[in-house]
Structure 1
């Protein structure tokens, strides 16, 4: 397996809060998070040292529009080190030694992520949720001139329909964003 030597993998928010549907209202439904495990693992291993992980954490304290947002989700307004915001065990096992960017924003593209990938101009993305943190990261990165490939089979949404809607929306931004899958990325 070979991936482009000038491309980084950005693994978006593979965290317990989005994986464990038995207790989290934010989790991908019906354990569907785990349908992405094999594709994510193959990508993470193939990119070697060129992988960065992101984490969503609640703003502390919530300000501005986030105040109203968290009125609907008070159970998630916890400190960034709360175990619900930990990476899933399989993700954490692969994340050791890699940069982890933790932000209180849905979109993870910004100076921290740009620095973590060493100024690279190409990224592949995977993670959750396709219709929230993945799409906002991909659009912002593309807007900044970064070539983005979305590994659709390594992403999952808040529902199958929302996952597809997000992929369809990102596809509108070709050639800045390319919707693909892990098999094509891995060649």
Structure 2
């Protein structure tokens, strides 16, 4: 009887081999001379780091023009860090191109406003005085509150008569089955 499902072994071996090659544990047959390639990769990485440090020093000397430039600068640094992290996962000799963000165009200067002479406003004539408020009449005296009548006495509650309870007969025993 033939198998109807493909073997997992056929799928996992190429995937596992690709992971091993990309993680740098094993190298493809082309990379036979590993020591020279590793030394060259280290030298290239050191030179790239020096170049990046010089670029950062130059960038720190410039003052950002506004919040959008600040955002682009911080985004650029974040992308550089992500790029370095991804390159660390790649095998020796494989590099990714740098990510560059677009720059904002320089805007032309806005010419200054010409000196404008505003006409003088006419003087405001004096306001008439408000008439005097009429005198407030005196508040009449409040009459005294009438006396509250006394509450009637509450009658005593009658005693509750005792009610005789009937005696409840006991239940007969149920025979066991």
- TM-score, structure 1 as length reference: 0.19
The structure with the largest strand share of the pair is 1
Asked which structure has the greater RCO (Cα within 8 Å, sep 6+), the reply is: 1
Look at both structures and tell me which one has the larger radius of gyration over its CA atoms. Answer: 2
Q: What TM-score do the two structures reach when normalised by structure 2?
A: 0.19
Structure with more helix by fraction: 1
